[in-house]
């Protein structure tokens, strides 16, 4: 990662680690679970050479950023609060940047556009579309009703329980399982499909050295911070009621793979392709679904993603 600068920035009462490279308009990259700034390594190198200043933080609770202890410190408002202050640090003149999000980073980018559209010039989101929430059913209940209590989101809810199971399996194995084949179900006693004595074959887009970067960081921090994002899904649902029916007005594009677990969630294809998504995000310019591509799209198809980001953001400067 030659030429990438690392520094700590104090925002919203905590220290956030950022990696940055390049000069020009800022692109802020927001990672997902269970990831780090490092998931954007291909985008950082490519787009910093195309006239952009690329910046990727470790979100609160991750990597080298602070890990607040309280579960209550991980609502969408805490994390978007971090991002708003970070944007002001990165662009003190205009206080407005380009944003790219993936997975939880995409969810947070939609929220950022919902709460503070003045902070975002344009948005490219990957893997997770804007999620219109049901006014009557809490999200965790909704997923449990469809997938059962082994669904990963249900299993993440109980503080400390899944952490204990992950510790038993070992951080190395857990992280590599998630990056290789993100499990929809995590049955107790047999979390992953493969027997634990069977070696993992990493996907072609992830080297042993790259995988070990994640493993080393998560061995140091554990998973509680990242899991606390999921433990606030129902709380966020309660807190977001004032925004019920609000539209996203930021110019946006969206890309995902057709093998992504999110694409196969109940009702998702219909929402994305038959008008619901466009209704919620009237300024949505395009939806691209890449054939044969899975969840970690920025690493799996870096050239396509880089070109997509560059083509869209170049229109705005």
The 3-class secondary structure across 46-79, one letter per residue, is HHHCCCCEEEEECCCCCCCCCCCCCHHHHCHHHH
Active site residue 102: no
Q: Are 194 and 173 in contact (CB under 8 A)?
A: no
Catalytic residue among 38, 74, 230, 271: 230
**Which residues are registered as beta bridge partners of 289?**
256
Q: State the burial class of residue 267 (Cβ atoms within 10 Å of its Cβ: 0-12, 13-18, 19+).
A: exposed
The whole-angstrom separation of Cα 30 and Cα 32 is 7
Helix (H) or strand (E) holding 226: helix 224-230
Helices and strands (H and E) in the chain: how many: 14, 8
The whole-angstrom separation of Cα 124 and Cα 99 is 6
Active site residue 103: yes
Q: Are 67 and 94 in contact (CB under 8 A)?
A: no
Catalytic residue among 17, 102, 151, 295: 295
Q: Does 34 sit behind a cis peptide bond, omega within 30 degrees of 0 on the bond before it?
A: yes
SS3 255: strand
Task: Return the ∠ at Cα 116 (arms to 115 and 117), rounded to 5°.
Answer: 110
Active site residue 295: yes
SS3 162: helix
Structure tokens at 20: 């940055």
DSSP code string of 267-293: THHHHHHSSHHHHH-TTEEEEEEETT-
Catalytic residue among 66, 103, 260, 294: 103
Tell me the catalytic residues: 103, 230, 295
């Amino acid at each position: 990662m030659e030429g990438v600068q690392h520094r700590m920035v104090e925002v919203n009462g905590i220290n956030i680690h950022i990696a940055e490279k390049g000069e020009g308009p800022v692109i802020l990259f927001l990672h997902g679970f269970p990831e780090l700034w490092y998931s954007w390594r291909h985008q950082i190198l490519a787009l910093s050479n195309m006239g952009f200043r690329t910046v990727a933080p470790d979100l609160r609770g991750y990597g080298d950023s602070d890990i607040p202890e309280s579960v209550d410190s991980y609502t969408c408002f805490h994390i978007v609060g971090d991002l708003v202050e970070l944007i002001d640090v990165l662009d003190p003149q205009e206080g407005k940047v380009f944003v790219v999000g993936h997975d939880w980073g995409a969810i947070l980018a939609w929220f950022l556009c919902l709460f503070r559209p003045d902070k975002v010039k344009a948005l490219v989101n990957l893997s997770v579309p804007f999620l219109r929430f049901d006014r009557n059913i809490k999200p965790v209940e909704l997923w449990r009703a469809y997938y059962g209590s082994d669904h990963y989101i249900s299993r993440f809810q109980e503080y400390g329980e899944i952490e204990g199971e992950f510790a038993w399996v070992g951080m190395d194995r857990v992280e590599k399982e998630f990056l290789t084949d993100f499990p929809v179900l995590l049955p107790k006693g047999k979390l992953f499909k493969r027997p634990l004595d069977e070696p993992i074959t990493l996907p072609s887009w992830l080297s042993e050295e790259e995988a070990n970067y994640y493993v080393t960081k998560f061995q140091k921090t554990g998973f509680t911070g990242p899991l606390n994002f999921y433990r606030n899904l129902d709380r966020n649902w309660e807190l977001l009621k004032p925004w019920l029916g609000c539209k996203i007005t930021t110019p946006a594009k969206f890309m995902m793979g057709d093998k992504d677990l999110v694409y196969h969630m109940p009702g998702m294809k219909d929402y994305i392709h038959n008008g619901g998504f466009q209704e919620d995000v009237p300024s949505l310019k395009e939806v691209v679904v890449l054939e044969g591509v899975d969840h970690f799209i920025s690493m799996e198809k870096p050239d396509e993603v880089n070109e997509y980001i560059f083509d869209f953001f170049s229109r705005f400067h």
